[in-house]
Structures are given as C-alpha cells and as structure tokens.
Amino acid sequence: MSLIEEGQEIARKLGNEVIYKGPWLPNGEKGEFYGHWFTNGVTGSSFSAKTLEEAKATLIQSRKDWGAKPPVFANNPAAEEGKMPKERISPALIIPVGLGLGLIAMVGVVALARAAVPPVCMELRRDKFYYFIYTGPNQTFKAALGECYPVIYTIDVWDEEANEYLPPVDPDHDILETGSKCRVMVQETCILCGFELI
C-alpha cells in the first residue's frame, strides 16, 4: 500500500469530517516520512499523524481545543480493532436519575426506620379518659387493644357524621382503622401500644 493510499484509508476511518491532504515528506518524495497531513473539516485546522491511533487522538484533542463536538468515526473503527466503544451518558440524564435514586433510597431508609421502631406504648391509669389516634394496622378492637382489652371500661371512636365519640357495636369483631380518633378509659392500669395521644 502506498503512502497516499495509507493516508486515504486513515482519513476514511476518521470519518467524512476529515480531509486527507497528502504525505508529509519535507525533503521531497524520497525524504523522511513525517506523517500524513489532514484537515479537520469542522474546525478548518490542519494536523499531521503517522498512524490511525495518533490521528484519532489528535483529532479528538483538536475538537476539544476548538470547543467542537467530538468526532464520530466511520464504521466504528474501535470495534473493528477489537475494542469495545465507550458508551457516554448524557449529563442531562445524570441529574434526574441521581435525584430519583436518592429519593428511592430516602424512602427506603424511612420505611426501614419505621419498621425498626416499635410501636409507641404507654401506661393507662384507671378512671381517666385518654384521647388517641390509632397508628396500628386495621384490625379488631380486641386485637388493637391487646392487654388492655380485658380491663377496658369504654372505648369510643369519633364519628364524623354524628360529630361525637361513639362506642363500637361489637368490639370483638368490629375493625379499628388506622388513623381513627379514639377515647379510652380503663378500669385497671395497663399498657397500651399502637396509639398516639392527641
């Protein structure tokens, strides 16, 4: 392959934005070969290189220096030479993806923290009304009241329609829903969990 054919092949692999000018032989055709001359079609600057790798490196640096977009090489020569091309992630995607992952991580940490924290428990004393919001899962009054159920004097749930506290019809089977406002009185001291004082 002649020097001109070699230079043209390098230019082809560099893409359509590079123009091959010829070999650099300062002492005439028989002189020492200094490289091939190319013109960067995007910036208009000229550069020389002896090999494809050198030409690629020079072209990439030239585009960076001129603030032009990086070159796209014809026929993906990096793959032809047994190298996997590096995929680039757009900076416009990095910030939203990072924020999304951060939000997911934060929600996960909060969920783990909630799961790790035992329900708030407090001691109830007899003959006094306590006003609570139920924070446990939906379940029967009997299950929600736990050890206090046998000594409950009364438990009433706020009824929005009636605008007052009303007792459940059947505490053994009626469901106490999460977020319900309750009024509780016990006959003997007991520990109640899963409720927050109002």
Q: What percent of the chain has pLDDT over 90?
A: 26
Helix or strand (DSSP H, E) at 3: helix 3-14
Summarize pLDDT for 167-185 with one digit per residue, the tens.
Answer: 988 888 899 999 999 999 9
Handedness of CA 5, 11, 15, 18 (dihedral sign): negative
| Coil/strand/helix, residue 20 | strand
Of 131 and 44, more confident: 131
Residue 77: its pLDDT value, please? 46
Cβ distance 178 to 134 under 8 Å?
A: yes
Strands 130-134 and 190-193: unpaired
Among 21-30, 128-137, 138-147, the minimum mean pLDDT is found in: 21-30
d(CA 117, CA 114): 5
The residue ranges of every structural domain in the chain are 3-80, 121-197
Q: What percent of the chain has pLDDT over 70?
A: 79
Does 116 score more than 60 pLDDT?
A: no
Q: What is the mean pLDDT of the chain?
A: 80
Interacting residues of 193 by C-beta distance below 8 A, sequence separation 6+? 118, 119, 120, 121, 136, 146
Residue 68: its pLDDT value, please? 77
Handedness of CA 143, 159, 167, 192 (dihedral sign): positive
DSSP classification of residue 172 = T
Residue 60: its pLDDT value, please? 83
Q: What is the pTM of this model?
A: 0.40
Does 10 score more than 60 pLDDT?
A: yes
Handedness of CA 135, 138, 143, 145 (dihedral sign): positive
Query: How remote is the C-alpha of 57 from its chain's centroid?
Result: 34
Angle between helices 52-66 and 3-14 (to 10 degrees): 50
